[in-house]
Amino acid sequence: MSGSPLSRRGLLLSAGAVAAAGLTGCDLDPTSSAPATTPSPDPDEAIVTAARAELSDLITRLGGGSGNAALVAVHRVQLAALQGEPPATASPGRPLSRPRIVARERRAAVRFGTWARTATSGDLARVLASIAAGIRMQPVLREAS
Amino acid sequence: MSDETSLPALQRTLAAEHAAVYVLGVLGGRAAVLGESPLRPALATAYDVHLARRNQLRLMVTAAGADPDAAEPAYDVPREVTTPGQITAEALRVERACVSTYAALVAATTGADRAWAVDALSAGALAELTFGGPPLPLPGLPAGFARA
pTM: 0.86
Per-residue pLDDT band for A36 (boundaries 50, 70, 90) equals: low
Contact B101 A2 (CB under 8 A): yes
Contact A129 B103 (CB under 8 A): yes
Task: With beta carbons less than 8 A apart as the criterion, state whether A52 and A79 touch.
Answer: yes
Which one, of A38, A1, A71, lies nearest residue B23 by Cα? A1
Mutate to test the interface with A, among B21, B122, B128, B136 (most CBs of A within 10 A): B122
User: What is the model's pLDDT at position B108?
Assistant: 97
Which one, of B129, B82, B132, B141, lies nearest residue A145 by Cα? B129
Per-residue pLDDT band for A8 (boundaries 50, 70, 90) equals: very low
Give chain B as a 3 state SS string.
CCCCCCHHHHHHHHHHHHHHHHHHHHHHHHHHCCCCCCHHHHHHHHHHHHHHHHHHHHHHHHHCCCCCCCCCCCCCCCCCCCCHHHHHHHHHHHHHHHHHHHHHHHHHCCHHHHHHHHHHHHHHHHHHHHCCCCCCCCCCCCCCCCCC
Residue A38 lies in a domain: no
Number of structural domains in chain A: 1
Nearest-Cα distance to chain A for B111, in Å, is 7
Residue A22 has pLDDT above 70, yes or no: no
Residue A131 lies in a domain: yes
Residue A13 lies in a domain: no
Per-residue pLDDT band for A21 (boundaries 50, 70, 90) equals: very low
Residue B144's Cβ-count burial label (10 Å; 0-12, 13-18, 19+) is exposed
Residue span of the structural domain in which A134 resides:
44-144
| Residue A50 burial (CB count, 10 A) | 13
The helix (H) or strand (E) run that includes residue A33 is none
Q: Could you give the angle at the alpha carbon of B60 between the alpha carbons of B57 and B64, nearest 5°?
A: 140
pLDDT tens for each residue of B38-81: 999 999 999 999 999 999 999 999 999 999 999 999 999 999 99
Residue A36 lies in a domain: no
Contacts of A143 (CB under 8 A, 6+ apart): none
Nearest-Cα distance to chain A for B132, in Å, is 12
Contact B145 A8 (CB under 8 A): yes
Which one, of A144, A20, A128, lies nearest residue A79 by Cα? A128
B50 vs B35, residue with greater confidence? B50
Residue A23 lies in a domain: no
Task: With beta carbons less than 8 A apart as the criterion, state whether B90 and B23 touch.
Answer: yes
Report domain B7-130's class.
mainly alpha
Question: Chain A residues with CB inside 8 Å of B122's CB?
Answer: 109, 113, 129, 132-133, 136
Contacts of B85 (CB under 8 A, 6+ apart): none
pLDDT tens for each residue of A92-122: 677 789 999 999 999 999 999 999 999 999 9
Which of B94, B100, B115 shows the shortest C-beta gap to A117? B115
A122 touching B (Cβ < 8 Å)? yes
Name the amino acid, one letter, at B22: Y
Residue A66 lies in a domain: yes
pLDDT tens for each residue of B93-145: 999 999 999 999 999 999 999 999 999 999 999 999 999 999 999 999 998 88
Contact B148 A122 (CB under 8 A): no
Which one, of B41, B62, B45, B51, lies nearest residue B17 by Cα? B51
Contact B106 A132 (CB under 8 A): no
**Torsion sign over Cα A62, A66, A68, A72:** positive
Per-residue pLDDT band for A26 (boundaries 50, 70, 90) equals: very low
Contact B148 A134 (CB under 8 A): no
